[in-house]
């Protein structure tokens, strides 16, 4: 094992994984190992089992529509949440943002009669502004996002309650055209679902293929290294929060279109579901890895569980417990996999020849050119 200079097959040493796989094989391997596939299969299994119990869960015209449209709000929030979590932050204020923007949507319809697209834009704009507040506080205040957004969760909810007072928006306040959006379908796919999927696709594509998207992952993977590397951490984190807020604003508009009414508890606790969806979908809570695709599948799974378990005759308490168990299982799974990988790599490193001081052998320390560059005397 000890290394002699000039011995020919150079101990290249590095654990080599040359790209001997064809691109198709590599893609297949990536897909097979992905969390997205695993969670997707769980979702599929859930749907199949539930449908076998009650076929209208999928095949009834209402069942099909609910199955597709119900997750759309949570998908929007989970996408925004993923972008924030990837940077090693978290946004707990999105539930309150949703409530506030939903109420704004209703109020604009009641008070102004602005056309629906303008109202939706206003909701997105308010959401983005609230996200900007979070982003500024986190990026410049150097306080953990968990604390900042926990604070703004209450502040935004408080603003909502103060503004709304005892008012509530009801379906009769909302133009029929907008409410129709909640039930409209295109090729038997609900329009809200299509919009959510378009948002998902755009954000997912951007995160994967744009420099700025990859920088978000770099920042979350090691913020210190990102700063040393010269990435603009402050700006990227700020924009991630703005996006999360804007998507929560869009979700607020969706909420009005879907449910028609906005009461003071609109969006209450939904931020935790968004975080849970991301975690179940394989987004690492310490940042740096995970995809919006996974988070969206996670969101769909969470929403579908809520409607499937009653069909399966499982009690309310157990429904919550199942969601909790899923989140715990996802986290435990991540932890087990990563420790196992770390241990394997540590052992592999020890066994590599020519690196560092190999254990157990009295090999000389690594610097080898010593003999031919004798220095002193």
Partner 1 sequence: MSGPSDPSGSPLTLELRDVAKSFGAVAALRSGTLEVRPGSIHALVGENGAGKSTLVKVIAGVHQRDAGEFRLKGEEVDFGSTSESKAAGVAVIYQEPTLFPDLSVAENIFMGRQPLGPARRIDRKRMYDGSAALFDRLGVHIDPRRPARGLSIADQQIIEIAKAISLDAALLVMDEPTAALSGVEVDRLFAVARSLRDEGRALVFISHRFEEVFALCDEVTVMRDGEYVSTDPIVDTTVDEIVARMVGREVTDLFPKTPAPVGDVVLDVEGLNRTGVFHDVSFQVRAGEIVALAGLVGAGRSEIARAVFGVDAYDAGSVRMLGRAVRPGRPRAGIEAGMAFVPEDRRQQGLVVDGTIARNVAAVIRGRLDRLGFLTTRAENRAAGPWAARLEVKTNALDMPATTMSGGNQQKVVLAKWLATEPKLLIIDEPTRGIDVGTKSEVHRLLSDLAGQGLAIVMISSELPEVLGMADRVLVVHEGRITAELDREEATAEAVMRAATGSSGITPMVGNPASASTEEVKA
Interface residues toward partner 1, by CB under 8 A: 3, 5, 10-19, 26, 209-211, 214-215, 217-218, 220-222, 224-232, 284, 288-289, 341-342, 345-347, 349-350, 352, 354-357, 359-360, 362, 364-377
Q: Are 145 and 240 in contact (CB under 8 A)?
A: no
CB of 34 to partner 1, least distance (A): 14
* Nearest residue (CB) to partner 1, 178 versus 217: 217
What's the sign of the alpha-carbon dihedral 296, 299, 301, 304?
Answer: negative
Q: Is 96 left (phi over 0), alpha (psi -120 to 50) or beta?
A: alpha
Question: Residue 25: CB partners within 8 Å, gap ≥ 6?
Answer: none
CA 84 – CA 49 distance, rounded (Å): 34
Torsion of CA 366, 369, 371, 377, to 10 degrees: -110
CB of 292 to partner 1, least distance (A): 15
Burial string for 166-198 (b: 16+ CB within 10 Å, else e) reads eeebeeebbeeebbebbeebeeeebbbbbbbee
CA 356 – CA 38 distance, rounded (Å): 39
Residue with tokens 């602005």: 114
* Nearest residue (CB) to partner 1, 18 versus 313: 18
CB of 334 to partner 1, least distance (A): 12
* Nearest residue (CB) to partner 1, 166 versus 373: 373
CB atoms within 10 A of CB 217: 18
Question: Residue 18: CB partners within 8 Å, gap ≥ 6?
Answer: none
Tokens of 88: 């090693």
CB of 220 to partner 1, least distance (A): 8
CB of 200 to partner 1, least distance (A): 18
* Nearest residue (CB) to partner 1, 56 versus 357: 357
* Nearest residue (CB) to partner 1, 190 versus 223: 223
CB of 82 to partner 1, least distance (A): 14
* Nearest residue (CB) to partner 1, 117 versus 230: 230
CB of 285 to partner 1, least distance (A): 13
CB of 365 to partner 1, least distance (A): 4
* Nearest residue (CB) to partner 1, 50 versus 89: 89
CB atoms within 10 A of CB 54: 15
* Nearest residue (CB) to partner 1, 168 versus 355: 355
CB atoms within 10 A of CB 42: 17
């Amino acid at each position: 094992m000890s290394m002699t200079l000039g011995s020919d097959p150079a101990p290249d040493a590095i654990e080599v994984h040359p790209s001997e796989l064809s691109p198709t094989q590599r893609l297949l391997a990536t897909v097979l190992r992905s969390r997205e596939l695993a969670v997707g299969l769980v979702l599929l299994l859930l749907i199949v089992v539930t449908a076998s119990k009650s076929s209208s869960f999928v095949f009834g015209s209402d069942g099909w529509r609910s199955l597709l449209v119900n997750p759309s709000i949570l998908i929007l929030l989970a996408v925004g949440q993923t972008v924030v979590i990837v940077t090693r932050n978290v946004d707990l204020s999105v539930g309150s943002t949703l409530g506030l923007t939903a109420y704004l949507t209703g109020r604009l319809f009641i008070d102004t009669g602005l056309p629906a697209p303008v109202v939706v834009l206003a909701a997105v704009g308010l959401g983005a502004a609230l996200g900007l507040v979070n982003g500024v506080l986190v990026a410049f205040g150097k306080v953990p996002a968990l604390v900042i957004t926990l604070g703004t969760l209450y502040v935004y909810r408080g603003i909502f309650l103060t503004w709304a007072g005892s008012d509530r928006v009801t379906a009769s306040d909302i133009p029929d055209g907008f409410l129709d959006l909640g039930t409209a379908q295109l090729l038997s796919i609900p329009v809200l679902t299509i919009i959510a999927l378009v948002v998902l696709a755009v954000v997912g594509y951007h995160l994967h293929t744009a420099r700025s998207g990859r920088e978000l992952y770099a920042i979350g993977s090691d913020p210190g290294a990102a700063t040393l590397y010269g990435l603009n951490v402050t700006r990227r984190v700020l924009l991630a929060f703005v996006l999360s807020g804007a998507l929560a604003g869009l979700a607020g508009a969706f909420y009005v279109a879907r449910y028609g009414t906005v009461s003071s508890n609109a969006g209450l606790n939904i931020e935790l579901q968004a975080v849970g969806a991301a975690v179940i979908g394989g987004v690492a809570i310490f940042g740096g890895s995970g995809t919006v695709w996974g988070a969206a599948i996670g969101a769909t799974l969470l929403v579908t569980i809520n409607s499937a378990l009653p069909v399966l005759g499982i009690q309310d308490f157990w429904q919550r417990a199942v969601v909790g168990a899923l989140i715990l299982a996802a986290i435990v799974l991540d932890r087990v996999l990563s420790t196992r990988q770390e241990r394997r790599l540590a052992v592999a490193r020890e066994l590599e020849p020519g690196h560092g001081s190999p254990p157990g052998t009295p090999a000389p320390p690594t610097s080898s050119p010593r003999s031919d560059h004798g220095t002193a005397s």
